[in-house]
Amino acid sequence: MLRVMPTQVAKLARTDAGLSSALRISVMRLARRLRNERDARDDLSANHLAVLGTLSRHDTMTIGELAAAEKVQPPSMTRTVTSLCDKGLVRRTTHDSDRRVVVVSLTESAHAVIAESRRRKEAWLNHRLRELTPAERQTLRDAAPILERLSQA
């Protein structure tokens, strides 16, 4: 049985050489867990939810901008936006000065869906965090901004 157990992750992390491996394993596993915790009750696909999330961070975006942000090709984004439009979660309008451009924005009901989805995702994690010691929570508080910076690098 070659499975990497929690204690092995701690051991790995002790050296600079092992830190990268330990961090990758633990971050990927926790992310997978958080993702599954969400998927269980959401009726929107991961893809659709990602587009709503991106839109909520940018307010309005064009099809091209959305495609670039989600790293898909424009035809795929056309399809996704059409589907979200049918569900009443986004609005499509023509750009004021350039009529080739389609401007996409969230509807009120989308804001509610996003908030609810986020609330559910955090409920599970919140519960787990309350089971940690104050010192462990402090470590995570210190670590969060560093992890964030790594992701932006």
Partner DNA sequence: TATTGTTATACTCTATAACTATA
Partner DNA sequence: TATAGTTATAGAGTATAACAATA
Residue from 102, 105, 117, 122 touching DNA (CB under 7 A): that is 102
| Buried b or exposed e, range 76-110, using 16+ CB within 10 angstroms | ebeebbebbeeeebbeeeeeeeeeeebbbebeeeb
Answer with the entry of a copy of itself, DNA, none that 88 interacts with (C-beta below 5 to 8 A by kind).
none
Tokens of 52: 């709503």
Q: How far is the CB of 125 from DNA (least distance, A)?
A: 24
- Using the Cα atoms of residue 54, residue 57, residue 59 and residue 62 in order, give the sign of their dihedral: negative
**Between 39 and 78, how does the x/- string for binding to a copy of itself read (CB under 8 A)?**
-----------------xxxx-----------x-------
Quick one: which of 29, 53, 42, 44 has its CA closest to 121? 42
Tokens 């670039």: give the residue.
68
From CA 39, how far away is CA 141, in angstroms rounded? 26
Tokens 């309008």: give the residue.
93
Say whether residue 116 binds a copy of itself (CB under 8 A).
no
Q: How far is the CB of 131 from a copy of itself (least distance, A)?
A: 7
Answer with the entry of a copy of itself, DNA, none that 14 interacts with (C-beta below 5 to 8 A by kind).
a copy of itself
From CA 15, how far away is CA 9, in angstroms rounded? 11
Say whether residue 54 binds DNA (CB under 7 A).
no
Q: CB nearer to DNA: give 29 or 92.
A: 92
Stretch that binds DNA, among 16-24, 59-67, 126-134, 145-153 (CB under 7 A): 59-67
Answer with the entry of a copy of itself, DNA, none that 102 interacts with (C-beta below 5 to 8 A by kind).
DNA
Interface ranges with DNA (CB under 7 A): 45, 47-48, 62-65, 71-83, 92, 97-102
